[in-house]
Amino acid sequence: MCAVRDWEWTDKASLVRHANNRNVWRNLLDRFPHPFTEADAESWFALVETMSPRTHWALDVDGEAVGGIGIELGHGNYAKTGHFGYWLGESYWGRGIMSAAVRATVEYVFSRIDVVRLEAPVFEWNPPSMRVLEKCGFVREGVLRRSAFKDGQVIDTVLYARIR
């Protein structure tokens, strides 16, 4: 149904098509640009190429990259924590794709990368993402009150984490 694989430069058109969407951007950190242009896609592929190990992957449905998933490793005292993030093109929402992708990626990360904790902060207006995390064994650890400024609003963040 869905494969988690490396990003390829040939994904440029599909990345722009699916990422250039306000409803996707609204649930992600602002470093995910909006509008999302071809230049943004090229910067992304160039960045991913420099990563060793690669910790960001494309979600592939029928040979097309329709979303992304990955972790950012923490630093210093937080080096064994990974910050987990993901997004899917809106036309693919509601089919169980992300739940399957999160499950597979968590298993891969815990078996290959030296992290003991994966954490995912979710904006308060995103219950579907909270549900995905709950289905994949993440625990709701708390509410970071009024911790984020997104789309012109100060909002709560709900912190989810899964321990190896």
Residues that bind ligand COA (CB under 6 A): 24, 27-28, 86-88, 93-99, 120, 122, 126-129, 131-132
Residue for token pair 């911790």:
147
Rounded CA-CA distance 141/160 in Å is 6
Outline where DSSP puts E strands in the chain: 3-5, 56-61, 64-73, 81-88, 117-123, 139-150, 153-163
- C-beta closer to ligand COA: residue 57 or 87: 87
Q: Which residue type does 110 have?
A: F
- C-beta closer to ligand COA: residue 101 or 115: 101
- C-beta closer to ligand COA: residue 9 or 93: 93
